[in-house]
Amino acid sequence: MNVHFEEIRLNLPHIELAAHLYGPEDGQPVLALHGWLDNAMSFARLAPKLDGLRIVALDLAGHGLSGYRPAGASYQLWDYALDALLVAEQLGWQRFSLLGHSLGAIVSMLLAAALPERVARLALIDGLLPLTHEPELAPPKLGEALNAQLAQAGKRRPVYASVERAVEARLRGGYPLSREAAELLASRGLAPQAGSYTWRTDPRLTLPSPLRLTPAQAEAFARALRCPVSLVLAEEGLPVQRAEWLALIESLPIALHRLPGGHHLHLDDEAGASAVADCFKALFAAP
């Protein structure tokens, strides 16, 4: 497929981020945040179908062509939220909307709940609530994360003899996605290395989280949302963490859409991207 976008760089005080820019200069401002280990190409099918929007699809820190966080820094949800807010500041967007997939949807929700005066709309794909754990699990989970950080120095990056091998590896890992979706993500996510290829993503992104919110804290964020929210859930996508989460979502003033397809339904094929776009058009057309 042919992908038409403008490549831009954003120099934040602490990191440089790369992004794809779509839409007219006077369009509604939208920041698009992709999922874990993906990149800005995640929105290559969807963004062109959302007319009238000025979409900045970021490579999140440590992903795609964006920079890594310095040694000793972390990739926590709130770190990504600050990055997004600083990007909006640099663009001069006092009020803006968020389009998020998976991890990007979770970060978008947290940012919108924390600063409701800044976020006009939320368009979310197969993601809303962060992974949580009960308070008594916090000490052992922190210990697990600290030990993983100590062991990280001895690990090597995976290396692939060809782009095709890397695509095959991506197809075997995580949630299923189409070959074309994997190829699109690989086109931005791979770097040549001595005649072979490796992923550009920071290896620290695979480390376990040192701290997670409790279920009560996650629910408090969801209930703090004040902007219109449209949530697409894929029938074969991320499982809802607990039955209570789905009950919570259905109790909130969220426009909930259930669509056939997998976790990357907005990228897997044109039909899925069109279906997701149709769900979001009403959200962005509202006054």
Buried b (16+ CB within 10 A) or exposed e, 52-83: ebbbbbbbbbbbbbbbbbeeeeebebebbbeb
CA distance 75 to 68: 10
User: CA torsion sign, 75 to 76 to 78 to 80?
Assistant: positive
Buried b (16+ CB within 10 A) or exposed e, 122-156: bbbbbbbbbebeeeeeeeeeeeebeeeeeeeeeee
Amino acid identity at 183? E
How many CB atoms sit inside 10 A of residue 204's CB? 16
Q: Which residue in the list 42, 66, 102, 230 is annotated as catalytic?
A: 102
The strand pair at 190-193 and 254-262 is best described as unpaired
226 and 115 Cβ atoms separated by less than 8 Å: no
102 is an active site residue = yes
Closest CA to 123 of 104, 146, 145, 150: 104
Indicate which residues carry an active-site annotation: 102
